[in-house]
Structure 1
Amino acid sequence: MQIIGLCRFSFPAEGGFQVEHETLEDRIAYLYSPSRMEERLRHFECICLPGLKAQTDPRFTFLVLVGEAMPRPYLDRLQALLRDFPQARIVSRPPGPHRQVCQQVINAARDMSQPCLQFRHDDDDAVAVGFVEELRTAALDISALRAKHRLVALDWNRGYVARPDAEGICAEPCVTPFWGVAQAVAIAPGVRQSIMNFGHNKLLQFMPTLSFTDRPMYLRGHNDHNDSRQKAHVRPISLPRLDAAGEAEMKRLFAIDADHVRRVFAPAAAT
């Protein structure tokens, strides 16, 4: 069964952001500002990619959607980070309607005659190294349900919220349903709708959904450039710093290396 993940890496879409901009030019300037891009690349390298590269089931495709206007130095760095990740493919598109562009990108990578499992993934989030394997197994377990419905959502709701910095990782466990990470939609053959046609917290309004709470399956990144944190009156979250045992657990679950985090987020490395 084909499995496709989509990551929008600073793609200047029309819509798709909780904080709007007056013009497309304003959005592009915001997305590609040096301080923001440096942060996105650090999170992508240290948080997002390790678990994906270490998946116990490597049979998936990971699409990284970028804008055609992405400055060349950032695109070069992105390509370098993906060089040892054969499942990853950078897809460049001009600005366009958010849901429409994402749907087109995913469907271009699909075999439309076959069922497809799709997951969305932000560049500062992580999934457990067994996510793809668990997703494939769960989809096979619900074959009868999938045969009756065009779309079925699967949501793993136990994980961590975390913030990396120059001293390591601050994190705490949480259970949050339909948060958009470690979440997938099983799509029947011939159906052109994609996971990106629906808000991640609204899937249960449009299709049968299954929730899994038995094990941690995600790490939700928390940082100053989260789209959801750009609104006024958003309160900061205080997260405890992980000790050595906690850091070892992050490596076991998500392949996130706290020493690598410290190196990449060190002030000298960030300039």
Structure 2
Amino acid sequence: MQVIGFCRFSYPAEGGFQVEHSSLTDRIAYLYDPVRIEERFRHFECLCLPGLKAQTDPDFLFVILVGEAMPTRWLERLAELTDDFPQAVIVSRPPGPHRKVCQDVINAVRDMDQPCLQFRHDDDDAVAIDFVAHLRQAAQDCAALLAKHRLVGFDWNRGYVGRPDAKGLCAQVQVTPYWGVAQGMAVRPGVRQTIMNFGHNKLNQNMPTVTFTQPVMYLRGHNDHNDSRQKKHVKPMPLPRLDTAGETELKARLAIDADHIRRVFGGG
């Protein structure tokens, strides 16, 4: 079964942001602000890519949506970071309605005559190295459910929330359902709706879903430029710093290298 992951990398959509902007020009300026996008690249390199590149089941596509207005230097940096990631496909589009553009991009790379597994992924999050394998196995285990429904959701709710910095990583394991990371969806042949047509926290309001609490399946990045953290009254989340044993465990499960984080975030 075809597996497609989808990531928006600072794509200036119409809608789709919790941060409001008065104009598309303002949104583009916000997205490509050098301080902000530098942080996004650091998280993308240190958190997002390692687990995806190390998947035990490498039979998947990972579509990265960018805006046509992305400056050349950022586009070249993105291409360089994914040069050794053959599953990655960088797609550029002009600004457009968020859900429609995402739907069109995903459907453009899928075989519409075949069933499909899809997962959404933010550029500052990580999945475990066996996420694709677990997603494919879940679909096989739920074959009878998939036969009865055009869409079926899957959600792994146990994982880390973490903040990288020049000293390494502050993180802890927690359980949060429908958080949008390590979340997938099975789609019947011919169905044009995609996982991006639904809010991640409302997936179970639109289709049957199956949830898993084991094993640890993700790390959700926690940083100042999270879209969800731009709203008023968002409380800070204190996180303990991982010791050597914690860093070793995180590397084994999600391929995240704390030494690499220290080099990248420390400017080395």
Query: TM-score if structure 1 supplies the norm length?
Result: 0.98
Q: Which residue of structure 1 aligns with residue 192 of structure 2?
A: 192
Q: Which residue of structure 2 aligns with residue 210 of structure 1?
A: 210
| Alignment partners' CA distance in 2, 1:156 and 1:214 | 7
The Cα offsets for residues 144-194 of structure 1, whole Å up to 9 and x where unpaired, read as 110100000000000010000000000011000000000001000000000
1:40 aligns with 2:5: no
Q: Secondary structure at the match of 1:163?
A: strand
| Alignment partners' CA distance in 1, 2:186 and 2:74 | 33
| Alignment partners' CA distance in 2, 1:233 and 1:113 | 46
Q: Which residue of structure 1 aligns with residue 256 of structure 2?
A: 256
1:161 aligns with 2:161: yes
Q: Secondary structure at the match of 1:64?
A: strand
Q: Which letter does structure 1 place at the counterpart of 2:208?
A: P
| Alignment partners' CA distance in 2, 1:253 and 1:96 | 37
| Alignment partners' CA distance in 2, 1:176 and 1:235 | 17
Q: Please list every run of 5 or more consecutive structure 1 residues that lacks an aligned counterpart in the other structure.
A: none
The Cα offsets for residues 201-250 of structure 1, whole Å up to 9 and x where unpaired, read as 00111100000002100100000000011112211111000000000011
| Alignment partners' CA distance in 2, 1:167 and 1:225 | 19
Structure 1 residues 1-271: aligned runs within 5 Å: 1-266=1-266, 268-269=267-268
Q: CA deviation at 1:128?
A: 0.1
Q: CA deviation at 1:23?
A: 0.3
| Alignment partners' CA distance in 1, 2:220 and 2:191 | 30
Q: CA deviation at 1:196?
A: 0.4
Q: Secondary structure at the match of 1:119?
A: strand
Q: Which letter does structure 1 place at the counterpart of 2:237?
A: I
Q: CA deviation at 1:19?
A: 1.3
The Cα offsets for residues 19-67 of structure 1, whole Å up to 9 and x where unpaired, read as 1111000000000000001000000000000000000000000000000
Q: Secondary structure at the match of 1:22?
A: coil
| Alignment partners' CA distance in 1, 2:41 and 2:168 | 17
Q: Secondary structure at the match of 2:173?
A: strand
Q: Secondary structure at the match of 2:70?
A: coil
| Alignment partners' CA distance in 1, 2:75 and 2:85 | 16
| Alignment partners' CA distance in 2, 1:184 and 1:265 | 30
Q: Which letter does structure 1 place at the counterpart of 2:147?
A: A
Q: Please list every run of 5 or more consecutive structure 2 residues that lacks an aligned counterpart in the other structure.
A: none
Q: CA deviation at 1:80?
A: 0.2
| Alignment partners' CA distance in 2, 1:75 and 1:250 | 29
Structure 1 runs, 4 residues or longer, greater than 3 Å off: none
- Percent identity of the aligned residues? 73
| Alignment partners' CA distance in 1, 2:6 and 2:81 | 16
Q: Which letter does structure 1 place at the counterpart of 2:142?
A: I
Aligned residues: 268
